[in-house]
Structure 1
Amino acid sequence: MKSQQKELYIFETRFGRITALKEEGIINAKSIRYACSERFQKPVPLQPSVSDIIFPDKTPVCPQALSPLVEKMIGITHIENFEADESTQYLSITRPENIRDDRKLPVVVWIHGGSHEIGCGDLPTADPAEWVKEQNIIVVTVSYRLGLFGFLGGDEERPPNLGLFDMIEALKWIKTYISDFGGDPDNITLFGQSSGGDAIAHLMISEGIENLFQRVIIQSAPLGLRHKRQKMSAEFLRKTDGLKNETDVLKMMDEYGKFVPSVMKYGLKAAMPFGIQYGYPPLCKEEESLEKWRESAKKYDVLIGLNNDETAFYLKTSEALNRYFGKGIGLRIMDKTVEKTTEFIYGKPAEKFAENCAHGGRNVYLFRIHSQSKYNRIGAPHCIDLPLIFGNKPAWESSEMLRGVPWEYIHENGKKLRALWTEFARTGNISDHSERPEILDLRKVN
């Protein structure tokens, strides 16, 4: 069936007159700049515009190197649709076409993953249109600085945590202006996957976030890699010093990979060399973090969890490893390695995080997504939650991760999962009587 033609739609807001696109019951205001920045400087919030705000032809994205693994497992990035921009402070708003004037919808703010190194807020594989239309919510997707520009630093010239500061400015913008789009500024849920979930966990204990959100959904956050990163970050910062003034950002992307810390030297955490850094604004010292989370949990409802076979995304898809561990006793060793590394990086830290937050007295839920599909050869790996939550079959058709899995299976389980996550976003609670998909284990943490 031929899709409806896109139409222009104008939002008259206090921030300015914003041009959006209307199609098939959805309105999407794309790539709204919420702040700007100079290299290695904090973001400066944008003031309301007297001129019309028009979305760009190409999606702005922080300069980055494409990941061959992501290209293989999730899908090809059509780079002709994107344009590199160091000052990557943009957000997009997706809402239903028809909402009542007297009703404000719950708002979900999507913080994308990608090891604090790749991705952006507007990717087809995380297009929230299906979720928005189905559950009658507003989703705001946020882009922010990554890698060398946003998640490496340690001195006055190159301060750390700039990506977190970008997110905070985005949340301030959303709090101020989302009601002009039909959203409820007092019902905002942060939702992130992988490094996006890691960022959200740390936003909970950041300075300057008071009253900016009420709930968090944290999926597959690698919290087991957050500890004792100081020496690794300092080495990475020192080795990349020669790139800090490079004007050719593409050259920077080509060069920095030569200086990535050795996994052998720093252990598993070196697999994610960029990240948040404790002891620098807006964060506390690492040894203070658990108590800070316990205190902050008095203000937030928390839904946190993981996929049962997270590291299968990396291990079971490696041709080199499969050559030696793809069958027989080797496969049993591989399965045990996936189990142990998943628990170390994701499982146990999520459980400890949930138990710590439960002391705050708010609603805290812990979940795990399993694979019940006979078609899926690698179980429930990292990123399997994305097609479940966002749907969008065309974007996932080339995914190696879903090869052989009927889309009907993804859609059936995804629709139930989207309903549960929306229930949490609306109320902070998930009823015992709400229908669960067969792939989900979910429990309230007391």
Structure 2
Amino acid sequence: MTTQQNIGTHTFQTPFGKILALKENGVIKAKSIRYARSERYKSPVPLEVAEFSEEIIDKIPVCPQNISPLLERLIGKTDIERFHPDESTQFLTITRPENLNKNEELPVVVWIHGGSYEIGCGDLPTSDPTVWVKEQNIIVVSISYRLGLFGFLGGDENRPANLGLFDIIEALKWIQKNIQSFGGNLKNITLFGQSSGGDAIAHLMISEGVENLFHRAIIHSAPLGFRHKRQKMSSEFFRKTEFLKNETNPLKMVEKYVNFLPSFNKYGLKSSMPFCTQYGYPPLCNEEESLEKWKENAKKYDVLMGLNNDETAFYVKTAEKGIYTYLPHKILNKIVRRTTEFIYEKPANIFAENYISGGGNIYLFKIHSTLNNYIGASHCFDLPLIFANETAWKSSAILKDIPWKYIFENGRKIRSLWAEFARTGKISDDSEKPEILHLRKV
């Protein structure tokens, strides 16, 4: 299956061709594998043969995007020298244990990153799966896909909607064809996503063209409360950005569209996520058909779904200007609770009840902070629990005053539970659960 090239590297022989990987810290990483190519506003075209290189790619390809001041402040500074903007952002990275038993096939977890369908990529240090892969003997595939204007805003045949979803589907097809060459079990694929990545997974569950591409779903902090009645806002955004469609410099495109975002405030809370999947365009059904579609498909996918108790504290309690900076702590807590319920918690409960009525297998969870830290278990609090990269997370403002040992030990138990679910679709009542986790089978 594989041949060792030299110390520190590994060459995989796959149906796709030879793929060079790096051995580091007890895992093997095949970085930035291009699975497809695309022209602007065109469907992704799968690659038939690997673009083999004798060197490990150093810079991480990302979809052109604006750096988020909020994430810079709360999670960490972006070292832009590490990244390379690429409008055709169809890449994936595979992380697997360094040593496998002969003929062993491991469960595969496919990481679909969040970032409001606007920012991020699959290969950020804050989502490095090395610890999880080594601890739980799983394979993690991290996907990058088109974002923003390039992947999640459309409205006609010249600028189609949902291109980022089509990218993810192409990546899943690539995984089906090739993951056995890396020691993965193509019949045990779990999609795992946070925030908009979780929202994308929920919508992949009702997309056309995904039959047998995955079997389970782990959905963190999906903003399903933002999915309703977006058509007017999306259409207005689409019209206002028409003049940018032929701009040759993609970085100028992302610099300019932000000028229109304040005009969408009239659409309420959902204007804080201007890009999204769009109902009524392939591969999705109309919005009014979505709940029934989830019910129809409920027996196809095991689901583990949930949120952090204080999701919106990430935005409300960390504002540097505006009305929130003047409100008393008690009022801020009420705003956090109500907005968390509206955007995340109630939609998750509705999803679960609907899913159960279709005969599905679904678990709901909620993560709390048991420490007296100011923003509690906010949006993204779950990420260092799963992706236990201390170097990337130790200076994060959302973990201020929280010992890393607390994050690591609670996270170790969650990593074990989530891997159990990825293997079997179940979580035993006898499995050890951390104090910060409330988990129930619906």
Specify if TM > 0.5: yes
What's the offset of the Cα at 1:187? 0.1
Q: Mean Cα displacement is larger for which, 96-105 or 132-141?
A: 96-105
Partner of 2:3: none
Q: Does 1:385 align with 2:386?
A: no
2:395 and 2:370 map into 1 onto residues whose CA distance is 21
1:429 and 1:19 map into 2 onto residues whose CA distance is 35
What's the offset of the Cα at 1:27? 0.1
What's the offset of the Cα at 1:96? 0.2
What's the offset of the Cα at 1:120? 0.1
Alpha-carbon contact 1:235-1:261 (below 8 Å) kept: no
Partner of 1:401: 398
1:59 and 1:196 map into 2 onto residues whose CA distance is 19
Partner of 1:44: 45
Q: Deviations over 1:384-429 (max 9, x none)?
A: 0000001010001221111111000000100000000000000000
Which amino acid letter does the alignment assign opposite residue 437 of structure 1?
Answer: P
1:391 and 1:384 map into 2 onto residues whose CA distance is 12
1:6 and 1:233 map into 2 onto residues whose CA distance is 51
Partner of 2:180: 179
Which amino acid letter does the alignment assign opposite residue 315 of structure 1?
Answer: V
SS at match of 2:188: strand
1:278 and 1:177 map into 2 onto residues whose CA distance is 31
- Residue in structure 2 matching 1:367, options 362, 365, 369: 365
Change (3 A) 1:50 1:150: closer
2:359 and 2:390 map into 1 onto residues whose CA distance is 39
Q: 1:178-327 residue pairs with structure 2 within 5 A?
A: 178-260=179-261, 262-320=263-321, 321=323, 323-325=325-327
Specify every segment of 5 or more residues in structure 1 that has no aligned partner in the other structure, as ranges.
none
1:15 and 1:176 map into 2 onto residues whose CA distance is 8
Q: Mean Cα displacement is larger for which, 316-325 or 404-413?
A: 316-325
Change (3 A) 1:291 1:261: farther
Alpha-carbon contact 1:243-1:252 (below 8 Å) kept: yes
The share of aligned pairs that are identical, in percent, is: 68
Q: 1:75-154 residue pairs with structure 2 within 5 A?
A: 75-154=76-155
1:154 and 1:53 map into 2 onto residues whose CA distance is 42
Partner of 1:71: 72
Alpha-carbon contact 1:12-1:180 (below 8 Å) kept: yes
2:326 and 2:53 map into 1 onto residues whose CA distance is 59
Change (3 A) 1:283 1:261: farther
1:277 and 1:148 map into 2 onto residues whose CA distance is 13
Which amino acid letter does the alignment assign opposite residue 362 of structure 2?
Answer: V
1:53 and 1:60 map into 2 onto residues whose CA distance is 18
Q: Deviations over 1:276-298 (max 9, x none)?
A: 00000000000000000001111
1:6 and 1:64 map into 2 onto residues whose CA distance is 36
SS at match of 2:293: helix
Change (3 A) 1:53 1:274: farther
Alpha-carbon contact 1:17-1:53 (below 8 Å) kept: no
1:105 and 1:346 map into 2 onto residues whose CA distance is 32
Partner of 1:336: 334
Q: Deviations over 1:45-102 (max 9, x none)?
A: 0002485575422110000000000001111111100000000000000000101122
Partner of 1:430: 427
Change (3 A) 1:315 1:46: same
Alpha-carbon contact 1:214-1:301 (below 8 Å) kept: yes
Q: Mean Cα displacement is larger for which, 225-234 or 263-272?
A: 263-272
Q: Mean Cα displacement is larger for which, 361-370 or 383-392?
A: 361-370
Alpha-carbon contact 1:232-1:266 (below 8 Å) kept: yes
Q: Deviations over 1:318-356 (max 9, x none)?
A: 12345411xxxx211111000000000000001111111
- Residue in structure 2 matching 1:418, options 411, 415, 420: 415
Alpha-carbon contact 1:31-1:55 (below 8 Å) kept: no
Alpha-carbon contact 2:34-2:51 (below 8 Å) kept: no
Q: Deviations over 1:143-201 (max 9, x none)?
A: 00000000000011100000000000000000110000000000000000000000000
Alpha-carbon contact 2:299-2:361 (below 8 Å) kept: no
Which amino acid letter does the alignment assign opposite residue 438 of structure 1?
Answer: E
Alpha-carbon contact 1:16-1:53 (below 8 Å) kept: no
2:174 and 2:286 map into 1 onto residues whose CA distance is 28
SS at match of 2:238: helix
Which amino acid letter does the alignment assign opposite residue 356 of structure 1?
Answer: N
Alpha-carbon contact 1:18-1:54 (below 8 Å) kept: no
Alpha-carbon contact 1:62-1:86 (below 8 Å) kept: yes
What's the offset of the Cα at 1:254? 1.2
Q: Mean Cα displacement is larger for which, 51-60 or 87-96?
A: 51-60
1:176 and 1:389 map into 2 onto residues whose CA distance is 27
Alpha-carbon contact 1:65-1:254 (below 8 Å) kept: yes
Change (3 A) 1:134 1:84: same
1:80 and 1:240 map into 2 onto residues whose CA distance is 29
Alpha-carbon contact 1:145-1:162 (below 8 Å) kept: yes
2:197 and 2:259 map into 1 onto residues whose CA distance is 25
Query: How many residues end up aligned between the 2 structures?
Result: 436
SS at match of 1:217: strand
2:121 and 2:265 map into 1 onto residues whose CA distance is 30
What's the offset of the Cα at 1:253? 1.6
2:430 and 2:52 map into 1 onto residues whose CA distance is 50
